[in-house]
Amino acid sequence: MAGPDAVDVLLRPAPDERARPGRAFLGDDELLLAPARHGPVIRSLAGATSGLLGGLPEALGLYDPHAISRTEAVHDPDTLRIRYGDLVGLAPFARPTGFSLHLRVDGRREDVRLAFRSGDERAEAVSLARALRERARDAGGDPGVFDPGGRTRVLPLDG
């Protein structure tokens, strides 16, 4: 199967929650959305240090804001698990401040929101959406692409 096995994302499981850095892991039967192991205090300190030093700690590999392994994600109670068959909609889109992917999941009232912060965030959003659509179809679902509204432009998944 084409697509990434893990992608660095900013997670926002509900609209009233703050976005937190983490990773999306593609498993055999489900998508794991795990927040980074760093708490808000460490993230704030690391962000301030990184700002003062021009991003040097991250460039040298001393700090990773998205730090969490697949094993940690599997055992973390804060990990959101989404079965591929429960995906009913995907919205990969561009917005004025970057690229995002919203997921509609059967049984959830609100969309799960993912944002990307990298050098090639458009490609990450599209490749993750394609991989999720493919795995959802393999699981017997058929998630459609939807427009989340607002000042957005939906990205095509075909082609």
pLDDT bin (cut points 50, 70, 90) of residue 137 is very high
- Would you say 24 and 5 are in contact if contact means Cβ atoms under 8 Å apart? no
pLDDT of residue 53: 64
Report H helices in 11-155: 40-52, 56-59, 70-75, 121-138
Residue 133 reports pLDDT greater than 90: yes
Give per-residue pLDDT as tens, 77-125: 989 999 999 999 999 999 888 899 999 999 999 999 999 877 788 899 9
- Would you say 43 and 66 are in contact if contact means Cβ atoms under 8 Å apart? no
pLDDT of residue 49: 61
Residue 64 reports pLDDT greater than 90: no
pLDDT of residue 58: 62
Give per-residue pLDDT as tens, 11-59: 987 778 888 888 999 998 999 999 886 666 655 665 666 666 676 666 6
Give per-residue pLDDT as tens, 122-131: 899 999 999 9
pLDDT of residue 15: 77
Residue 134 reports pLDDT greater than 80: yes
Residues near 93 by beta carbon (within 8 Å), at least 6 away in sequence: 99, 100, 101, 102, 125, 147, 148, 152, 153, 154, 155
**Model-level pTM?**
0.80
